[in-house]
Amino acid sequence: MTQTLQQQWAQCQTILADNMTSSAYQTWFAPIVPLQFVEGVLVLQVKSQFVAEYIEENYIPLLSSAIYRVFGQGTRLEYRVLIDSTSGATTMMPSRPMGNGLQPVGSDQQQAASFDSQLNALYTFDSFIAGEPNKLARTAGLAIAKQPGYTAFNPLFIYGGSGVGKTHLANAIGHQVKALHPQARVLYVSANTFKLQYQDAAKCNKIPDFLNFYQSVDVLIVDDIQYFAGLKGTQDTFFHIFNYLQQSRKQLILTSDRPPVELKDIEERLLTRFKWGLSAEILKPDYQLRRDILVSKMHRDGITLSDDIVDFIAQNVRDSVRDLEGVLASLLAHSTLTNKEIDLALTEQVVSHIVTIQPKVITVGDVMDKVAKHYNLPEKALVAQNRSREIAQARHIAIYLSKQLTNASLAEIGVKMGKRTHATILHSISIIKEQMEFDPVLRQQIHKLEASLTH
């Protein structure tokens, strides 16, 4: 009896569910709808481009294994992405190639048009958000793309912590090379995949074929080079490939989680060559870059979030672009599954499950700045001896909020507020407390200022 498409996809889902956490399965795979399987192409409908991209980055090896087991080896995957929930409009998005095998080098297959670069189609310069933390590496990458192998940046050694965008940038350079030099043979490979390919070649006595393949490449991108540590045979073989390509004016791009000087169990002759070109660090994203990344991904996925929610995420999710993507994905999943609007309370809950939220430290200076702007006054007016009613009222409020929201003592508040006495500070606090009891407008203003300072 022939199985239906739904039954086959259900088998895939069972495999996926058995190999990941329940929450991950419910978020990413439970909502997927199989649409068709025709001529070896499986089409799955997903709720947004972000969902497809997240699956491609994090689950494609597991997903491809499940699909091959149920639908057959060589099955190709495409996503149908919902781009407008109102009209139901969709767009197609192909998966990247799911296999990792080497292409044999033959007279026909040496043409770039038929060469599988193994680049991630989603990782381009268009989707790479530029900022101060990645400026050097990005600028070098753009220069390399124009003249691969003919700049001083060979090799380009990109390093930085997990999730800062090294893999994205390396792929983006590869795509740009292909766009500017259509005949170039560009290859992306992870260090682990290279290791496995080398081991298979050694077992089958095909090392010459292995070397021949890699030496035919014009731009070689090796991701996570630190995983070569302790692998003597792999390092020896890569050393010969590196030398051949470098001497042939071919481009090498390497990524690592640390600079060459900190790599362990890597042969000195390789480390020396890693330092020949440019070592460019990608730092953790700063606040502005984190905010720009969030805004870009919101626009791409059709998500609308208020400024206070964006600010809260950018302030608290500091270490990794992946963490920022994870927060957006979780918010989208929670909102979709519960049919609720994304508000600050939900955002705080989601963020707290991904990172440790550091309590916000508020200073007297922060309070003075916020109050002065709220009342359209220069900050120095709060510390001056001016006794006008408007300025005195703003000063009283700043003193009251400083007492409520900061760890400063009354004496410290007094010093900040123009060297006012302990008694003056107490008097200001007393005035505001009394006014708030019978003035709802003032009470609302102060609550608004408190909220803006604490979120």
| The CATH fold of domain 287-354 | Helicase, Ruva Protein; domain 3 (1.10.8)
What is the pLDDT averaged over residues 4-20?
Answer: 90
> What confidence tens digit (pLDDT) does each residue in 363-416 have?
999 899 999 999 898 888 888 887 788 899 999 999 999 998 888 899 999 999
220 - beta bridge partners? Answer: 187, 252
Query: Per CATH, the architecture of 364-454 is what?
Result: Orthogonal Bundle (1.10)
**115-281 under CATH 3.40.50.1000, yes or no:** no
* pLDDT beyond 80 at 189: yes
* pLDDT beyond 50 at 101: no
User: Beta-carbon neighbour count of residue 68 at 10 Å?
Assistant: 15
> What pLDDT does residue 85 have?
55
Give the position of tokens 């740009």.
Answer: 176
> What pLDDT does residue 227 have?
93
Quote the Cα angle for 140-155-186, to 5°: 85
Mean pLDDT value across the chain: 86
Distance CA 32, CA 28 (A): 8
> What pLDDT does residue 97 have?
58
In this structure, of 213-222, 304-313, 364-373, the range with the lowest mean pLDDT score is 304-313
* pLDDT beyond 90 at 258: yes
41 - beta bridge partners? Answer: 38, 76
Q: Give me the residue spans of the domains in the chain.
A: 5-94, 115-281, 287-354, 364-454
Per-residue confidence at 100, pLDDT binned at 50, 70, 90? Answer: very low
Q: How far is CA 448 from CA 315, 378, 396, 454, 455, in A?
A: 20, 20, 16, 10, 11
> What pLDDT does residue 99 have?
46
Is the distance from CB of 414 to CB of 429 less than 8 angstroms?
no
Per-residue confidence at 360, pLDDT binned at 50, 70, 90? Answer: low
Is the distance from CB of 165 to CB of 137 less than 8 angstroms?
no
pTM: 0.59
> What confidence tens digit (pLDDT) does each residue in 33-68 have?
999 999 889 999 988 877 888 888 788 888 888 898
Q: Give which of 86, 90, 8, 96 is closest to 46, Cα–Cα.
A: 90
Query: Per CATH, the architecture of 5-94 is what?
Result: 2-Layer Sandwich (3.30)
* 295 vs 112: which has the higher pLDDT: 295
Handedness of CA 30, 34, 39, 41 (dihedral sign): negative
